[in-house]
Structure 1
Amino acid sequence: MQAVLFSWGAAEEVTGSKHFLEVKGETLMVDCGAFQGHREEADRKNRHWEFDASQIDSTILTHAHYDHCGLVPLLPQKGFSGNIYTTPASRDLASLIMMDSAHIQAKDLEFLAKRAKRKGEIFEKEPLYNEHDVVTSLDYFVTVSYHRPLFIGDGIRATFYDAGHILGSAITVVDVNKNSQSMNIAFSGDLGRKNLPILRDPENIPPVDYLVMESTYGNRLHDPVESAMKHLADVVNRTADRGGKIIIPSFAVERTQELIYFLHLLHDEKRIPKIPVYIDSPMATNATSIFRVHQECYDEETRQAFLQHHQNPFGFNELRYVSNVEESKALNELREPAIIISSSGMCEAGRILHHLKNNVTDSRNTVLIVGYMAKNTLGRRILEKQAKIRIFGDYYPLKAEVVALNEFSAHADYRDILDYIQQLDYHKLKEIFLVHGEPDAQKHLKSLLDEKGYHTTIVRYGGRYTLNLH
């Protein structure tokens, strides 16, 4: 008997994760993420699916990043009627991210419709989904804790293990047992790193026959997490000394909380000046509330540093959560050093665009990049230090200092990935399938794995791969 693996997203690219396992008439989908990057291309791919959602029996959500959960609200309207399995923390974060996406879509289309009207044009585009669609999709969620096996089909069982990537993220091991034949396959989702703040390290999993592994940083090595605080302090001190502001585009989920954690420690240790820190992202503020609730996901270091001393890891004297639009606009009038953390992380939407518009032309300021920037995003253009960048249709000279700190990455680098794979049973592992990576990263990681004797395949968009039961 054979099973089939195929992907309609995050295949030779980073966004749009949608992986499928088909076995004896049953179909499991792992993640239902949105494509990001070039706006028109991403919109086209998000609207036109290459598969029939009504034929999917169940879905697993590995974690709550937009490129993994962003199209979940479309599942019911496209005919899906099964369960969506995930961890409790991922369910809470996914509801927040999907609702935020619906809100952004509505606002964006409202702006485009007004612009078209001014030009005497007709604009009839509809959002991908609305807030009602999000609420409807949440009824399909079933939450399951780590290490608790769940039966998701006839002879198909799944178990979640902590991926250490974001709150609630899971490596999923799927065990298939049909007609006295069996095999198991692990989906890494996004694999985290050791020693990240707040979260536990990625968990080891039992031996598996097949592994679907992310490869975002398959050709890069990160600086040690332990150096993050020093480099962050250097940027803050250098910018404050020249009277500037530090503008940090940040993912609302995980990255913002990590930054708050580190800045809290730096303030407590008096390693940076007492300048205000503004969290100007409603979603980040709400996500932080979810982090406070799900303390079961914290690592021992966070418990010792804060919880045992009855301290809130996500609150200190200089920290201010911006609650409304008026307060956000008031930040434009700041003339003193400050730190402004805002989303979206790739600078494609949200309040960060206003802060960039008002600050990139001042050489005293710093734009601090602390996360992955996909191709064709404003964040990537800033990272590449292009002389002029386009914001809201106008071009602005990029005079602010641009600094990238890769210690904050929540993705494993190629050394982390190799270390993780090498703890698995070499003789049982038949094949590794690389997903969620750009071609150069995947080719480099494949060459490293090939050298170590692994059978490695780069998954193609829509390609079908046979898995043998034994």
Structure 2
Amino acid sequence: MKLTIHGAARQVTGSMHLLDVAGYKILIDCGLDYEKDRSVQSNENFPFKPKDIDVVILTHAHIDHSGNLPTLVRLGFEGQILCTPPTADLTEMLLMDSVSIFLNKAQGSRKRGRGGKHHQISQPLYLHKHVMDTMDRIVTIGFNRPFRLTGDIELTFIPVGHLLGAGAAVLKINDQGTEKSIAFTGDIGRKNYPVLNDPQTIPPVDYLVTESTYGGRFHSTDKTVEQVLIETVEKACIKEPGRLIIPAFSIGRTQSLVYSLNKIFSSGLLPPVKVFVDSPLAARSTQTFRKFHSLLNEEAHDFYNKKGDEFEFDNLTYIENLKDSRQISNYFEPCIIISSAGMLEGGRIQDHLFYNIQNYYCTILFIGYCAKGTLGHRLLRGDSIVHIKDRDLAVYATIKQTDLFSAHGDHNDLMNVVKEQDKTKLKQVFLVHGDPQSMEALAVALETEEYPVIIPEKGLSYEL
């Protein structure tokens, strides 16, 4: 049995791991690599032949785990893609959204290229047809229900929080007469996260491939989500007649945020404030959260039984079309605007920033990670002038950040995932999906606890 880490090796994006069991090739995740030194088109340069892959296992829907599946299918993959039912629904939405982003970039590059002879046109990595071909290959499996890939390989998805439908892939394998087991965590969630259940313990395995995003970092514990929101909304929208803009990923982060605001306003902890959710993708994905309501946590169920829909309340408006989105700039009362994308690299959030970044009465609250090089990162590091929509604009708005809505487990959570393993059985821990500093911090902590750890290089293979 051979494991090769083809993506998210010493970096965060592009998760892709190949497990070869006596010639049967299993690809775990197939995400887009967003590292700045790579073009989007470079994602089609697979280090293997797509048609040689027998099956794909998808841990969850986020684009850095699912976003290159249509390319794999376009280039010849013909097998099944296995995931949980919510992951299937959310993946289709995110992949379709990716196509729209590709097409918009292509259109923009054509406009820029009209004046230049040698301008290179940005071509879409894949189209809607390829997404539909990908969805035709998906087979869904419920949590904690063993599924036999072959006579020698059994797959079970274990809930890990992080996102609706996210599951660690646990494989039990008869490798030429020897029983072996390996788990791929995907992304690990945190405990007590709004809407989602806590991660479930992964059963004992021989090998563990685990994410390390928050290695060496710890989430804030001095305030609750509700306390931070109350303080921010009160200052931005009540004590001052301003507006609060919250960049949030449409799937997962937005639903947790809306639910938290619902709890605050329905309990009378703040006077009513108009809330706009400006993201068609958020509106559609919220329907998936309603569809799979049984997978939400006990607190959300209790709220639903007592007060109704977690994702609907007075003064909340979901914005669908672009015309209504642009009308928000003409709303002069205090308000909260929740819009994608979380790192400010695209989507309607750029329109809201364009019109509000120079507004002294505007607060921008970041509730998630912003990768280096993104507009979000530049604002968080304190740049006084930023480039938005072909203009340099001075930053007069107040910039704030909280990590309480991060859906990733922190250093302690990641340590606990490994510590829950049987130390006498666990042969190796592979750290993926993290920057080098985070991986190193987690590796040192695990080695101190006498766990065998490897930080794999991209493309290296390991005999298991």
TM range (shorter): over 0.9
> Are 1:246 and 1:368, in contact at CA under 8 Å, matched by a contact in 2?
yes
Q: How does 1:138-217 map to 2 (within 5 A)?
A: 138-217=135-214
Counterpart of 1:456 (choices 453, 458, 461) is: 453
Kindly provide the amino acid, as one letter, of the partner of residue 117 in structure 1: R
Whether 1:382 and 2:379 are equivalent positions in the alignment is yes
Whether 1:233 and 2:256 are equivalent positions in the alignment is no
Identity of aligned residues (%): 37
Kindly provide the amino acid, as one letter, of the partner of residue 355 in structure 1: H
Scaled by the length of structure 2, the TM-score of the pair is 0.97
Kindly provide the amino acid, as one letter, of the partner of residue 272 in structure 1: L
> Are 1:61 and 1:69, in contact at CA under 8 Å, matched by a contact in 2?
yes
Give the secondary-structure state (helix, strand or coil) at the position aligned to 1:106. helix
Q: How does 1:202-351 map to 2 (within 5 A)?
A: 202-224=199-221, 227-240=224-237, 241-306=239-304, 308-309=305-306, 311-351=308-348
Closer, same or farther: CA 19–122 of 1 in aligned 2, 3 Å: same
Kindly provide the amino acid, as one letter, of the partner of residue 212 in structure 2: S
> Are 1:209 and 1:431, in contact at CA under 8 Å, matched by a contact in 2?
yes
Mapped partners of 1:357, 1:336: distance in 2: 18
> Are 2:106 and 2:121, in contact at CA under 8 Å, matched by a contact in 1?
no
In structure 2, the residue matched to 1:32 is 30
Give the secondary-structure state (helix, strand or coil) at the position aligned to 1:41. coil
* TM-superposition CA deviations, 1:75-116 (whole Å, max 9, x none): 221111110000000000000000011112112211221221
Mapped partners of 1:263, 1:225: distance in 2: 19
Mapped partners of 2:224, 2:33: distance in 1: 32
> Are 2:41 and 2:123, in contact at CA under 8 Å, matched by a contact in 1?
no
Mapped partners of 1:9, 1:272: distance in 2: 45
| Mean CA deviation greater in 429-438 or 74-83 | 74-83
Offset of residue 398 of structure 1: 1.8
> Are 1:92 and 1:290, in contact at CA under 8 Å, matched by a contact in 2?
yes
Closer, same or farther: CA 343–304 of 1 in aligned 2, 3 Å: same
In structure 2, the residue matched to 1:403 is 400
In structure 2, the residue matched to 1:6 is 4
> Are 2:21 and 2:175, in contact at CA under 8 Å, matched by a contact in 1?
no
* TM-superposition CA deviations, 1:123-180 (whole Å, max 9, x none): 5442001111111110000000001111223411110010111000001101111332
Give the secondary-structure state (helix, strand or coil) at the position aligned to 2:86. helix
| Mean CA deviation greater in 92-101 or 195-204 | 195-204
> Are 1:237 and 1:273, in contact at CA under 8 Å, matched by a contact in 2?
no
> Are 2:163 and 2:189, in contact at CA under 8 Å, matched by a contact in 1?
yes
Mapped partners of 1:333, 1:121: distance in 2: 41
Offset of residue 363 of structure 1: 2.3
In structure 2, the residue matched to 1:80 is 77
> Are 1:347 and 1:353, in contact at CA under 8 Å, matched by a contact in 2?
yes
Give the secondary-structure state (helix, strand or coil) at the position aligned to 2:2. strand
> Are 1:109 and 1:127, in contact at CA under 8 Å, matched by a contact in 2?
yes
Kindly provide the amino acid, as one letter, of the partner of residue 354 in structure 1: D
Mapped partners of 1:4, 1:398: distance in 2: 51
| Mean CA deviation greater in 332-341 or 127-136 | 332-341
Whether 1:412 and 2:409 are equivalent positions in the alignment is yes
Give unmatched runs, 5+ long, in structure 2: none
Kindly provide the amino acid, as one letter, of the partner of residue 80 in structure 1: F
Counterpart of 2:128 (choices 113, 126, 131) is: 131
Mapped partners of 2:413, 2:39: distance in 1: 30
Mapped partners of 1:455, 1:349: distance in 2: 41
Mapped partners of 1:152, 1:113: distance in 2: 45
Offset of residue 395 of structure 1: 1.6
Counterpart of 1:60 (choices 42, 57, 61) is: 57
> Are 1:225 and 1:408, in contact at CA under 8 Å, matched by a contact in 2?
no
Kindly provide the amino acid, as one letter, of the partner of residue 75 in structure 2: K
Give the secondary-structure state (helix, strand or coil) at the position aligned to 1:426. coil
Mapped partners of 1:387, 1:168: distance in 2: 40
Mapped partners of 2:115, 2:335: distance in 1: 38
Give the secondary-structure state (helix, strand or coil) at the position aligned to 2:344. coil
Mapped partners of 2:284, 2:35: distance in 1: 25
Give the secondary-structure state (helix, strand or coil) at the position aligned to 1:157. strand
Scaled by the length of structure 1, the TM-score of the pair is 0.96
Give the secondary-structure state (helix, strand or coil) at the position aligned to 1:407. coil
> Are 1:246 and 1:365, in contact at CA under 8 Å, matched by a contact in 2?
yes
| Mean CA deviation greater in 208-217 or 389-398 | 389-398
| Mean CA deviation greater in 170-179 or 88-97 | 170-179
CA RMSD of aligned residues (A): 1.5
Kindly provide the amino acid, as one letter, of the partner of residue 370 in structure 1: I
Closer, same or farther: CA 123–418 of 1 in aligned 2, 3 Å: closer
* TM-superposition CA deviations, 1:233-277 (whole Å, max 9, x none): 111111112222111111111100000000001101222231111
Mapped partners of 1:291, 1:226: distance in 2: 27
In structure 1, the residue matched to 2:360 is 363
Mapped partners of 2:117, 2:261: distance in 1: 50
Kindly provide the amino acid, as one letter, of the partner of residue 34 in structure 1: L
Give unmatched runs, 5+ long, in structure 1: none
* TM-superposition CA deviations, 1:305-344 (whole Å, max 9, x none): 11x2361000000110012111100112232211111111
* TM-superposition CA deviations, 1:342-364 (whole Å, max 9, x none): 11111111101111111111222
> Are 2:113 and 2:121, in contact at CA under 8 Å, matched by a contact in 1?
no
In structure 2, the residue matched to 1:394 is 391
Give the secondary-structure state (helix, strand or coil) at the position aligned to 2:105. helix
Closer, same or farther: CA 201–116 of 1 in aligned 2, 3 Å: same
